[in-house]
Amino acid sequence: MPAKPKLATCPICGKPTVAEHRPFCSARCRQVDLGRWLKGDYVIPGPPLAEEDEEKS
């Protein structure tokens, strides 16, 4: 008997996803995720910046 495929869940609250808001379950969870990116809670790792690059920022 084949195993049932797992349903995707919202990365914010864990509820099942909705096609309209994928990969989230609602507009609220989508906005929470965007807010986390804008606040800097999520980062994409990269090479360290040189000291002179940091001074220009």
Q: What is the residue extent of each domain of the chain?
A: 8-41
Spatial separation of the C-alpha atoms in residues 1 and 21, rounded to whole Å: 32
Spatial separation of the C-alpha atoms in residues 16 and 9, rounded to whole Å: 4
**Which residues contribute to the annotated binding site for Zn(2+)?**
10, 13, 25, 29
CATH class in words for 8-41: alpha beta
The residues, any chain, with a CB within 8 Å of residue 27's CB and separated by 6 or more, are 21
pLDDT score of 50: 79
Each residue's pLDDT tens digit, 8-33: 999 999 999 999 999 999 999 999 99
Spatial separation of the C-alpha atoms in residues 4 and 34, rounded to whole Å: 32
pLDDT score of 55: 55
- Span 43-47, average pLDDT: 88
**Which residues contribute to the annotated binding site?**
10, 13, 25, 29
Name the token pair of 43. Answer: 């980062």
